[in-house]
Amino acid sequence: MDSPVFAAETLGLTKRYPLAWKRRVVVALNKLDLQVRPGEVFGLLGPNGSGKSTTIKLLLGLIRPNEGEARIFGLGPDDLEARRRIGFLPENPYFYGFLTGDETLQFFGKLCGLRGAKLTARINELIDLVSLQNGRERPLRSYSKGMLQRIGLAQAMIHDPDLLFLDEPTAGVDPQGSAQIRDLILRLKKMGKTVIFSSHLLEQVQEVADRVAIFSLGRKVLEGSLDDLLTEKEATLVSVPGELTDARRDELERLLAQSGFTGANVQFSRPRLSLEQLYLRTVEAERQP
Ligand SMILES: Nc1ncnc2c1ncn2[C@@H]1O[C@H](COP(=O)(O)OP(=O)(O)OP(=O)(O)O)[C@@H](O)[C@H]1O
Ligand SMILES: [Mg+2]
């Protein structure tokens, strides 16, 4: 059987930066082995400086490793076919402030070889996808941070890549804007795209990622599917609608005791909303006419 072709794969990938006085080096990434399957949404987590952006830049071929290898759909990152299949939203995207949203997408579309009616159709499609109808005619210098991130996402998708690298796509974006970006990532997944993204917003990562890797000081210290990592194997939570009256609680405790569940092992609690759920629910309720 053929070995599977990963959307992105690294083998012993290592990046060192010499410090100014050359005697010491920063190990930005240390022997990273990573495999991302086609169609997966993969989250890169970790504190500032732990190697997330370095991993993305090495996979994109923007910087060279000191050791190891990066592969995109089985090809080297410099391979033209690999480049055609990837899109990138950088950590701090740089755009021309005097171009409008439409002009920006025309500019990047032309760089990717798109022209005429095909380009116009693609721009219309992307503007809808990232909900930037109100930014089409406005220069980017008047955009809010959330709008800039969305035009950045549209730019990354202009050539319909199979694999998207998003370096902190929701950095500085308000909760509603972040939720839109989260929904966009889920839509990309439905379209069969592979998304590799970094983020510090753990709740959001939890909502979109299939698998995550956690980095610390250039090393991958934990990796797995969220289902596996977040399922508490030592307990089962049972939820019932509404509040539990004392009488029903006693009744349940008796039933549980009959099955051998007693004392401190048995806990009753009300499920909690995440802060993000509460915020979005409140803000969205306010917006209803
Ligand atoms: N061009 C460079 N020259 C020297 N050191 C660098 C360079 N780029 C990155 N580093 C160092 O490599 C390490 C990893 O940086 P990286 O940007 O990958 O972190 P990160 O996980 O993306 O952090 P953040 O969450 O802040 O974006 C850091 O110690 C950083 O200072
Ligand atoms: Mg970074």
Cα distance between residue 152 and residue 180, in whole Å = 14
Q: pTM score, two decimals?
A: 0.86
Beta bridge partners of 212: 43, 224
| Nearest C-alpha neighbor of 164 from the set 195, 127, 203 | 195
Tell me, using a 6 A CB cutoff, whether residue 26 lines ligand 1: yes
Q: Which of 54, 92, 197 to mutate to test the pocket of ligand 1 (most atoms within 8 A of CB)?
A: 54
Q: Which of 288, 276, 60, 24 is nearest to 166 (CA)?
A: 60
Q: Measure the CA–CA gap between 280 and 289, rounded to whole angstroms.
A: 16
Which ranges of 130-260 does DSSP label H, i.e. alpha helix?
A: 145-157, 175-190, 202-208, 226-230, 246-258
Task: Give the SS3 label for residue 37.
Answer: coil
Per-residue pLDDT tens digits of the chain, which is 289 residues long: 556 799 999 999 999 998 877 678 899 999 999 999 999 999 999 889 999 999 999 999 999 999 999 999 999 999 999 999 999 999 888 899 999 999 999 999 999 889 999 999 999 999 999 989 999 999 999 999 889 999 999 999 999 999 999 999 998 888 888 888 999 999 999 999 999 999 988 888 888 999 999 998 899 988 988 888 777 777 788 888 888 889 998 999 999 999 888 887 788 887 777 766 777 777 777 766 6
CA of 167 to the centre of ligand 2 (A): 7
Q: What is the pLDDT of residue 289?
A: 61
Strands 219-225 and 211-216: antiparallel
Instruction: Report which protein residue has its CA nearest ligand 1's atom 28.
Output: 49
Please tell me the residue having the least CA distance from ligand 1 atom 4.
17
Half-sphere exposure of 34 (CA within 13 A, CB side): 34
pLDDT score for 287: 67
Let me know how long the chain is.
289
Structural tokens at position 3: 């070995």
Residue 157's closest CA among 181, 137, 176? 181
What is the rounded CA–CA span in Å between residue 131 and residue 97?
A: 19
Sequence-ordered strand ranges (E) for 39-178? 41-45, 67-72, 86-89, 163-167
Fill in the DSSP letter of residue 175.
H
Domains of the chain, CATH where assigned: 1-85+163-231+273-289 (3.40.50.300), 96-160 (no CATH), 237-269 (no CATH)
Q: How far apart are CA 83 and CA 227, in angstroms?
A: 32
Q: Is the CB–ligand 1 distance for residue 54 below 6 Å?
A: yes
CB 6 within 8 A of CB 74: yes
> From ligand 1's centre to the CA of 173, what distance in Å?
22
**Which residue from 71, 34, 72, 27 is spatially nearest to 51, judged by alpha carbons?**
27
User: Which helix H or strand E contains 116, and what residues bound it?
Assistant: helix 116-129
